[in-house]
Amino acid sequence: MKNEIFWLTLTILMTSFFWLPYIINRILENDLIPALRNPNRDEPAQNMWANRMMHAHTNAVENLVLFAPLVILVEMLQLNNDNTSLACMVFFFTRLGHFLTYSFGIPYIRTLFFFIGFLVQGYLALNILQAIG
């Protein structure tokens, strides 16, 4: 397996588990059955960290939607190299850092993590555009 696909897979798995802490919080706040009904965003969780975590999860999914096709295109076009592999690893850790700092309410570091992840996506996109252009 190529390193880019490895890091994409880890990013997908990590993102797929980001919802667990805030749903556990919902169960603790509201009991099991009310927590399992469709979420009402007008009724935020009582704990601010849980609300921030929900937003961090949403942001992670939104960025995964952009990152995944870029990695797949890098793979399909055989543009894999040490730099694209490093970029995918950096993206994984910036998303983890973004999720944690967003959840704990650390504003400036959170923005830095987000921006670095954005730059990684731009780097992958530029590699693709150079290859096809």
pTM: 0.91
pLDDT at 56: 95
Query: Which structural domain range is residue 103 located in?
Result: 3-17+48-132
pLDDT at 39: 64
27, part of any domain? no
pLDDT at 45: 79
pLDDT at 41: 66
110, part of any domain? yes
CA dist., res. 22 & res. 19, Å (int): 6
Q: Where are the beta strands (DSSP E) in the chain?
A: none
CA dist., res. 26 & res. 20, Å (int): 10
CA angle 3, 102, 18 (to 5 degrees): 55
33, part of any domain? no
pLDDT tens, per residue, the chain with 133 residues: 589 999 999 999 999 999 999 888 888 988 888 777 766 667 777 889 988 999 999 999 999 999 999 999 999 999 999 999 999 999 999 999 999 999 999 999 999 999 999 999 999 999 999 999 8
Check if the beta carbon of residue 111 is closer than 8 Å to that of residue 130. Answer: no
Length of the chain: 133
52, part of any domain? yes
101, part of any domain? yes
The token pair at 76 is 């399909």
CA dist., res. 120 & res. 8, Å (int): 13
CATH number at residue 90: 1.20.120.550
